[in-house]
Amino acid sequence: MKGMKNRPGGMAGIVSGVTSRSHYVWVGSTYQRYAAAAGDRRSDLLFYTFAYAYRPQRLRKDKGWDWRIFGECTGERLGVLERAGADVPGSRSNQVFVGPTTLGVYKNYAVSGGVQFAVYQNLGPIYPRERVRVSINFTWFF
């Protein structure tokens, strides 16, 4: 993206799921698109996710920390990158990652984290390969 003209973009998404005291299932997707500037346009991004969580009986608490264990699959598809009004060869890509994550909630605080491993990659020559993604998040609900 070095030397490209940057422009604002937009993002829209939808997520739906079902939760119970013991099981969680949800699917979601977002789509990002950027405006063009002097013939340059960043790639569109389609992101999708599927998650299933199980909450073991011993972790179902109404007091103290409330923990969930997830199996999650995320994928992304990058569209073509445009430079000076022309498509950049090899700029399309698709990736899928799978791995375990966990979520702990205590009152109005949450901590989550996980690791995901690449199970499918179809990358152009301009993008680096990823083998693993790691994430840790801290949340304060107010």
What is the per-residue pLDDT across 94-118, written as a single tens digit (0 to 9) for each?
999 999 999 888 989 999 999 999 9
- Expressed as residue numbers, the domain containing 109 is 9-140
> Which DSSP category does 37 fall into?
B
Q: What is the mean pLDDT of the chain?
A: 91
Q: What is the mean pLDDT of residues 9-31?
A: 93
Kindly state the percentage of the chain with pLDDT values over 70.
99
Contact 95, 128 (CB under 8 A): no
In a domain, 3, yes or no: no
In a domain, 4, yes or no: no
Q: What is the mean pLDDT of residues 25-48?
A: 93
Q: What is the mean pLDDT of residues 6-32?
A: 92
Distance CA 56, CA 24 (A): 12
In a domain, 21, yes or no: yes
For position 92, what pLDDT does the model report?
Answer: 92
Sheet of strand 23-34, all strands in order from the earlier edge strand to the far edge? 9-19, 23-34, 45-54, 66-78, 93-106, 109-122, 132-140
In a domain, 88, yes or no: yes
In a domain, 2, yes or no: no
With vertex at residue 31, the alpha carbon angle to CA 69 and CA 136, rounded to the nearest 5 degrees, is 30
In a domain, 130, yes or no: yes
Structurally, the chain folds into a number of domains equal to 1
For position 112, what pLDDT does the model report?
Answer: 94
The answer to which of 19-23, 75-79, 107-111 has the lowest mean pLDDT is 19-23
